[in-house]
């Protein structure tokens, strides 16, 4: 299934049913007496967060949703049936905004959380409501109220405790594989990962945590270069970040450059991202020259501390990193 994290929908609630004009047939009652029932209420449109949904893929081709209309009232004061509510399930972490203004309307950040998007129209009153001492046989009833129609933009922001960020081929997918039971695609070419991958890590003597591989961050990502602009939003909800650096491929003149590139892109997208708690991890220590590069990185002016040195491929240092992430998450 293709990873879809944006969608624009048109939703419409149901119209209320019209009231009924009817009369009883009883002796000594003028024209039998009014007995028209009310129309039923139109169905609401409700969004509900569900942990069983992973992406916004169901909305890739279907963009219009309408709840059921209320039924008209009947004779003998019978109220029409209300329209059935339309429940639209979305992944946990879906943000709903007005498509025209961009204003945020709802943030469905917990399983089962709901939001009323469009309220169904009220049913019209039947002629039985309009009887007075001077007007005992009304021949009119109310029409039902129309439903609401809204154009909404849905944006999915994945919920993960820990997000792994870094340049392409830093080994992010390999690290997620090593930390958890997830099996993202790994290969030696840029943009192997075309969609975020979630995995659950199980450290010893600590609560499990969700780790996400965030793809597509290169220089200029906040302006749309590579895949970064599309996926930077997923970093917003991460409680802690892992800055992964390929220790086998550091520039001779500026070993901190890969790390600083990612820092700049995060800050340019949202300054708050650069302030998130983060662990800096040097990966691929199994490759020639990586250990020497790691020492150059650690001794460079302005190098972050503490540093973790690992090999996601062989597992070196991964368990220690997993425990440290769990510790920091509390």
Phi, psi values for residue 249, rounded to 5°? -140, 70
Say if residue 184's pLDDT is above 80.
no
> Measuring CA to CA, which residue among 69, 7, 75, 62 is closest to residue 44?
69
Q: Kindly report, residue by residue over 43-81, the tens digit of the pLDDT.
A: 999 999 998 887 888 898 899 999 999 999 999 899 999
Q: What is the per-residue pLDDT for 219?
A: 56
Q: What is the per-residue pLDDT for 67?
A: 98
Q: What is the per-residue pLDDT for 112?
A: 96
Say if residue 228's pLDDT is above 60.
no
Distances (CA, A) of 148 to 22, 60, 96, 118, 302: 29, 23, 16, 6, 57
Q: Kindly report, residue by residue over 278-308, the tens digit of the pLDDT.
A: 999 999 999 999 999 999 999 999 999 899 9
* C-alpha–C-alpha distance, residues 315 and 305, integer Å: 22
Enter the DSSP assignment of 233.
Answer: G
Distances (CA, A) of 325 to 158, 164, 202, 297: 18, 11, 11, 21
Give the residue-averaged pLDDT of 6-27.
92
Q: Kindly report, residue by residue over 102-121, the tens digit of the pLDDT.
A: 999 999 999 999 999 999 99
* C-alpha–C-alpha distance, residues 284 and 46, integer Å: 48
Decide if 39 contacts 71 (C-beta within 8 A).
yes
pTM greater than 0.75 (yes/no): no
Q: What is the per-residue pLDDT for 53?
A: 84
Percent of the chain with pLDDT over 70: 87
**Mean pLDDT, rounded, of the chain:** 87
Please tell me the total number of residues recorded for the chain in this structure. 330
What is the per-residue burial (b if ≥16 Cβ within 10 Å, else e) of 234-263?
bbbebbbbbbbbbbbebeeeebbebbebbb
Structure token digits, residue 124: 């019209």
Q: Kindly report, residue by residue over 150-166, the tens digit of the pLDDT.
A: 999 999 887 788 999 88
Measured between alpha carbons, how far apart are the two ends of the chain, in Å? Answer: 34
Decide if 24 contacts 104 (C-beta within 8 A).
no
Q: Kindly report, residue by residue over 190-204, the tens digit of the pLDDT.
A: 444 456 777 888 888
pLDDT band of residue 98 (cuts 50, 70, 90) is very high
Domains of the chain, earliest start first: 6-156 (2.70.210.12), 162-329 (3.40.50.300)
Q: What is the per-residue pLDDT for 16?
A: 97
Q: Kindly report, residue by residue over 262-279, the tens digit of the pLDDT.
A: 888 888 888 888 888 999
């Amino acid at each position: 299934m293709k990873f879809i994290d944006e969608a624009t929908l048109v939703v419409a609630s149901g119209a209320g049913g019209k009231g009924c004009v009817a009369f009883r047939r009883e002796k000594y009652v003028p024209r039998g007496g009014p007995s028209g029932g009310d129309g039923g209420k139109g169905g609401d449109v409700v969004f509900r967060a569900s942990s069983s949904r992973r992406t916004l893929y169901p909305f890739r081709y279907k963009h219009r949703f309408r709840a059921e209309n209320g039924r008209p009232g009947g004779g003998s004061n019978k109220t029409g049936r209300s329209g059935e509510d339309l429940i639209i399930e979305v992944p946990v972490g879906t943000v709903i905004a007005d498509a025209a203004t961009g204003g945020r309307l709802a943030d469905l950040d917990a399983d089962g959380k709901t939001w009323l998007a469009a309220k169904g129209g009220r049913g019209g009153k039947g002629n039985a409501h309009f009887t007075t001492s001077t007007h005992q046989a009304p021949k009119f009833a109310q029409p039902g109220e129309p439903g609401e129609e809204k154009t909404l933009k849905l944006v999915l922001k994945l919920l993960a405790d820990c997000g792994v960020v870094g340049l392409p081929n830093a080994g992010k997918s390999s690290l997620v594989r090593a930390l958890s039971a997830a099996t993202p695609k790994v290969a030696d070419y840029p943009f192997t990962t075309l969609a975020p991958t979630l995995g659950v890590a199980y450290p010893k003597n600590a609560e499990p945590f969700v780790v996400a591989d965030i793809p597509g961050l290169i220089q200029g990502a906040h302006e749309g270069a590579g895949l970064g602009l599309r996926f930077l939003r997923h970093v917003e909800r991460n409680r802690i970040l892992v800055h992964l650096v390929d220790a086998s491929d550091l520039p001779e003149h500026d070993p901190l450059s890969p790390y600083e590139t990612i820092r700049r892109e995060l800050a340019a997208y949202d300054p708050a991202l650069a302030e998130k708690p983060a662990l800096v991890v040097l990966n691929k220590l199994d490759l020639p020259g990586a250990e020497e590069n790691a020492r150059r990185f650690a001794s460079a002016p302005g190098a972050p501390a503490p540093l973790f040195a690992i090999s996601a491929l062989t597992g070196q240092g991964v368990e220690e990193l997993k425990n440290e992430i769990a510790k920091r998450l509390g």
